[in-house]
Amino acid sequence: MNNPSKPRGPARPHPASKHPSRPENPRGAPGSPRTFARPSKPPLRVQTTTLWEYPSQHYGEGLQGDPRYVGATPSYIPWNLMQRYTSEGDLVVDPFCGSGTTLDVAKSLNRVAKGYDLVPSRPDIEQADARKLPLASGTAALVFLDPPYGDHIDYSDDPRCIGKLSAYDPQYYEQMDRALDECARILRPGGHLGLYVCDYFDKKKGLAAVGFGLLQSLAHKLEIVDIISVVRHNKSLEKGNFHKAAEEQNFFLRGFNYLLIARKPEPKPAPARPRSDRGDRGDRGDRGRRGPPR
Ligand SMILES: C[S@@+](CC[C@H](N)C(=O)[O-])C[C@H]1O[C@@H](n2cnc3c(N)ncnc32)[C@H](O)[C@@H]1O
């Protein structure tokens, strides 16, 4: 419903260090130094409530990921997760890496990052299926994923693309369950996972509660830490008559995405054995003494 014609996901070449959002000021007088119209972006801050919002897709002076990539993640989301749950040098993994937003954020924070996608859009993204990652178990401090939410974006011609499966098809949830198994496998004990996802609504089929579907799956593998509501700034919704239609036809447009945060439990320490099992002898006179027997 939100997007009747399927946009195509893969990006054109990554714009590297270019700043398309900073056009030259056309009013600069001939011969005068060139000036640039800088977009005003508020400074980044760690989000402290379960309602997250930032008015731009990118932060700072540069770009993270490719702004032209349909379905790119707002970069302040992986930035916030890395600030909270990782330290410098930690491994961050994105199994559905798209235009590489997570890699750029990780680099800016001195984290080590690995990104995978069926159709890598740039050389630092490795070709792999999110359901079988070429990575050792228990190694990642953070896994961030923004997977397809159904089949409303045409990411590639690869038949293994999870974006070929409708959010109304149980197969979508089965395949995402396999990808989440793989995420849980590569996380180190105590490591965190952030899953960015949105529900889908079709006027004829009704609601596909994708967020709740994936939350159920996740809860079988990891501990749920929290559920964040991320305010959507979808420019395409501002163009058409979507809001008028939503009012007249009595349905709701998607106003938020979920960010599901989960954690891999640490192994529980083995319960202390009672003294009688330890072979302690009551006649040594060392009861209550700390440290090794002298
Ligand atoms: C929503 S996009 C990710 C956007 C990315 N976070 C960014 O900021 O650019 C989803 C990505 O998942 C990829 N994908 C779909 N199925 C996949 C699979 N089975 N294994 C790996 N990647 C897959 C698509 O090719 C697409 O690039």
Atom of ligand 1 nearest to the CA of 10: 27
Residues 210-224 have a mean pLDDT of 98
Task: Determine, yes or no, domain membership for 171.
Answer: yes
Strands (E), 134-255: 140-145, 187-197, 200-202, 206-208, 223-231
Structure tokens at 163: 């974006």
Nearest residue (by CA) to ligand 1, atom 3, is: 98
% pLDDT > 70, the chain? 80
- 148 CA to centre of ligand 1 in angstroms: 6
Structure tokens at 203: 């006027």
Q: Mean pLDDT, the chain, as a whole number?
A: 84
Task: Determine, yes or no, domain membership for 33.
Answer: no
Q: Which residue has the higher pLDDT, 270 or 39?
A: 270
The CA distances from residue 54 to 41, 76, 107, 230, in Å, are 9, 7, 21, 9
pLDDT at 38 over 80: no
For residues 118 and 164, the answer to whether their CB atoms sit within 8 Å is no
User: Which tens digits make up the pLDDT trace of 219-263?
Assistant: 999 999 999 999 998 777 777 788 899 999 999 999 999 999 999
pLDDT of residue 9: 52
For residues 254 and 2, the answer to whether their CB atoms sit within 8 Å is yes
The C-alpha atoms of residue 154 and residue 82 are separated, in whole angstroms, by 29
Task: Determine, yes or no, domain membership for 128.
Answer: yes
CA-closest candidate to residue 57, choices 71, 67, 45, 43: 67
- 246 CA to centre of ligand 1 in angstroms: 29
pLDDT of residue 234: 76
Residues 86-92 have a mean pLDDT of 98
Task: Determine, yes or no, domain membership for 20.
Answer: no
**pTM score, whole prediction:** 0.82
The C-alpha atoms of residue 228 and residue 128 are separated, in whole angstroms, by 28
Task: Determine, yes or no, domain membership for 155.
Answer: yes
The C-alpha atoms of residue 156 and residue 133 are separated, in whole angstroms, by 19
Residues 156-163 have a mean pLDDT of 98
Q: Which amino acid is at 197?
A: V
The C-alpha atoms of residue 229 and residue 153 are separated, in whole angstroms, by 22
- 13 CA to centre of ligand 1 in angstroms: 16
Domain range for 210: 51-268
- 72 CA to centre of ligand 1 in angstroms: 9
CA-closest candidate to residue 159, choices 203, 129, 121, 197: 129
- 98 CA to centre of ligand 1 in angstroms: 5
Atom of ligand 1 nearest to the CA of 149: 1
Task: Determine, yes or no, domain membership for 242.
Answer: yes
Q: Using N-to-C axis directions, what is the helix angle for 101-108 and 76-85, rounded to 10°?
A: 50
Task: State the CATH number of the domain containing residue 236.
Answer: 3.40.50.150
Atom of ligand 1 nearest to the CA of 179: 19
Task: Determine, yes or no, domain membership for 34.
Answer: no
pLDDT at 24 over 80: no
Structure tokens at 251: 């349905």
Task: Determine, yes or no, domain membership for 23.
Answer: no
- 276 CA to centre of ligand 1 in angstroms: 57
Atom of ligand 1 nearest to the CA of 161: 16
Atom of ligand 1 nearest to the CA of 11: 9
Eight-class DSSP state of 291: S
- Report the domain count for the chain: 1
